Amino acid sequence: ETGVTQTPRHLVMGMTNKKSLKCEQHLGHNAMYWYKQSAKKPLELMFVYNFKEQTENNSVPSRFSPECPNSSHLFLHLHTLQPEDSALYLCASSQERAANTGELFFGEGSRLTVL
Amino acid sequence: GENVEQHPSTLSVQEGDSAVIKCTYSDSASNYFPWYKQELGKRPQLIIDIRSNVGEKKDQRIAVTLNKTAKHFSLHITETQPEDSAVYFCAASNSGNQFYFGTGTSLTVIP
């Protein structure tokens, strides 16, 4: 499989559950991202990893915990979420410096619903 | 930080007409401006981009213009087709991995 794949595509969880979102890229990229997409809001950058090192953390609540074991895999661990965390979570990858190489490659997203 | 505003939020055009989506940005250091298209239930995909050393770029039916002085850039789609219906996002970046996205424009092309 090529490109950026995310699992699961849909997830429903209670506020006390613990779950994880997974992202895998087969493009040989070195940077991976988590974005949150909510209705009528801009895409919100949550985390960026370059060469497995976290380089951006946009004041994301600690109930979201990223993990990047290697440059091809990215996880988002979820714990004690709130209903307002319901959104589409998009993973993306790029060469090290996307603004120089020109493109973010997105996955299809994981639709999260928190009850 | 950077603030990107995008207008309109929704746009309906007749097939064959042109569509224009406009974005403004606040950080004069921004130098890269991509546009992404997201079809319903699908991932955002890059359709065109422009860098600050260029004023206009065209790729078949789509074009992007950039006015650095006024800090705005626009997407132009000519001869629209039903398959152009999607949500379009503009973004601005000043290099590195930080992209600031607009709120999106939902374009509907009416056959």
Chain B residues within 8 A of A4 when measuring between CB atoms: 43
| CA–CA distance, B100 with B4 (Å, rounded to integer) | 6
pLDDT in tens, B25-50: 999 989 889 999 999 888 999 999 99
Question: For chain B, what percent of residues have pLDDT higher than 90?
Answer: 80
Torsion of CA B69, B8, A107, A113, to 10 degrees: 130
Instruction: Please report the pLDDT score of residue A2 as a whole number.
Output: 65
Instruction: Please report the pLDDT score of residue A103 as a whole number.
Output: 80
CB contact under 8 A, B97 and A42: no
Instruction: Please report the pLDDT score of residue B58 as a whole number.
Output: 96
Count of Cβ atoms closer than 10 Å to residue A11 Cβ: 18
Q: Which helix (H) or strand (E) holds A100?
A: helix A98-101
Which A residues in the span 67-96 are in contact with B, Cβ-Cβ below 8 Å?
90, 94
Mean pLDDT confidence for B62-76 = 96
Q: Which helix (H) or strand (E) holds A101?
A: helix A98-101
The top-scoring range by mean pLDDT among A57-66, B4-13, B92-101 is B4-13
Instruction: Please report the pLDDT score of residue A50 as a whole number.
Output: 82
Instruction: Please report the pLDDT score of residue A95 as a whole number.
Output: 81
Question: For chain B, what percent of residues have pLDDT higher than 70?
Answer: 97
Q: From A49, A46, A24, select the one nearest A37 (Cα to Cα).
A: A46
Chain B residues within 8 A of A106 when measuring between CB atoms: 36, 43-45
Phi then psi for residue B101, to 5 deg, are -100, 150
Phi then psi for residue A5, to 5 deg, are -115, 140
CB contact under 8 A, A45 and B98: yes
By three-state DSSP, how is residue A85 classified?
helix
Position B14 pLDDT exceeds 80: yes
Task: List the pLDDT tens digit at each of the 115 positions of chain A.
Answer: 569 999 999 999 988 889 999 999 999 888 899 999 998 788 898 998 887 777 777 789 999 999 999 989 999 999 999 999 999 999 999 886 555 555 889 999 999 999 9
Q: How far is A107 from chain B (nearest CA, A)?
A: 6
Instruction: Please report the pLDDT score of residue B82 as a whole number.
Output: 96
Please report where in the chains the tokens 């996002």 appear, as a residue.
B89
AA letter at A9? R
Instruction: Please report the pLDDT score of residue B98 as a whole number.
Output: 77
| CA–CA distance, B78 with A67 (Å, rounded to integer) | 43
CB contact under 8 A, A99 and B104: no
Instruction: Please report the pLDDT score of residue A55 as a whole number.
Output: 72
Task: Name the band, by pLDDT with cuts 50, 70 and 90, for residue B54.
Answer: confident
